[in-house]
Amino acid sequence: MTDGQGDRGADGRGTQVGDRRGPQGGQGAQGGGFGGLSPRARSIVAAARALLEESGPAALTMRALADHLGIKAPSLYKHFPDKSAVEVELIAQMLAESAAALEAAETQAPGSIPALAEAYREYALEHPHLYCLATERPLPRAFLPPGLEDRAAAPLVRACGGDMDLARATWAFAHGMVILEIHGRFPDDADLAGAWKKGTRALHP
């Protein structure tokens, strides 16, 4: 799930469900996620993913990445102009993987908001650092593969009967619950399953 009404333009400001720009949306010099990357660039992204998953977004620097790969930092700039370009590739991975998780849940239980919520929560908690990287800052949608943000939002939008406002409200609830859980903001005795159930029922009576 993501919100993608891309009404703030190519500067990527805002993380908003289903960008409707479609194929004409911008794409970065590195191919915006999966296409156009050399084998070496793909290995750099894989190393960045490993570093991120292990130590979190703050630990992901070009110097740390170079050390992880056993090379000198300037060598990275032959493949990526800066750290942001590497992060775009990771964000694209998160969107594609979370989309696949939601699509699988939709296939098993078509139209089920609880099933989508469970899949969303499960993916985010399995990849908390990647989730935070992708959702706690402006989304670089101008550099993502065209249609990827739409794909990530589509299962929720369909479950909401195409009601974009309802989809945004549902996504905002799910994201809020997930990010608070990731950051340990709930008490140890909190009934999170109950909170998820009541929250989704309130939005989808």
> Is 166 inside a domain boundary?
yes
Residue with tokens 């977004």: 57
> Is 94 inside a domain boundary?
yes
> Is 98 inside a domain boundary?
yes
Decide which of 129 and 23 is more confident.
129
Q: Span 33-52, mean pLDDT? A: 88
pLDDT tens per residue across span 143-189: 999 999 999 999 999 999 999 999 999 999 999 999 999 999 999 99
Which pLDDT does position 32 carry in this prediction?
40
Domain containing 178: what range? Answer: 28-203
Confidence of residue 36 (pLDDT cuts 50, 70, 90): confident
Which pLDDT does position 25 carry in this prediction?
30
> Is 84 inside a domain boundary?
yes
State the Cα torsion 123-29-5-93 to the nearest 10°: -10
Q: Which amino acid is at 187?
A: P
The answer to whether residue 19 scores a pLDDT higher than 50 is: no
Apex 135 CA angle, 131 and 139, nearest 5: 130
> Is 6 inside a domain boundary?
no
> Is 181 inside a domain boundary?
yes
What b/e string do you get for 94-121 counting C-beta neighbours within 10 Å, with b at 16 or more? bbbebbebbbebbeeeeebbebbbbbbb
CA-to-CA distance for 163 and 182, rounded, in angstroms?
28
Report the chain's mean pLDDT, rounded to a whole number. Answer: 87
Which pLDDT does position 50 carry in this prediction?
97
Sign of CA dihedral 115, 116, 120, 121: negative
- How many domains does one find in the chain? 1
> Is 103 inside a domain boundary?
yes
Confidence of residue 1 (pLDDT cuts 50, 70, 90): low
CATH code for the domain of 98? 1.10.357.10
Q: Span 97-125, mean pLDDT? A: 98
Which pLDDT does position 133 carry in this prediction?
97
> Is 58 inside a domain boundary?
yes
Which pLDDT does position 112 carry in this prediction?
98
Confidence of residue 7 (pLDDT cuts 50, 70, 90): very low
Whole-Å CA distances, 117 to 44, 72, 93, 197, 199: 32, 43, 20, 9, 10
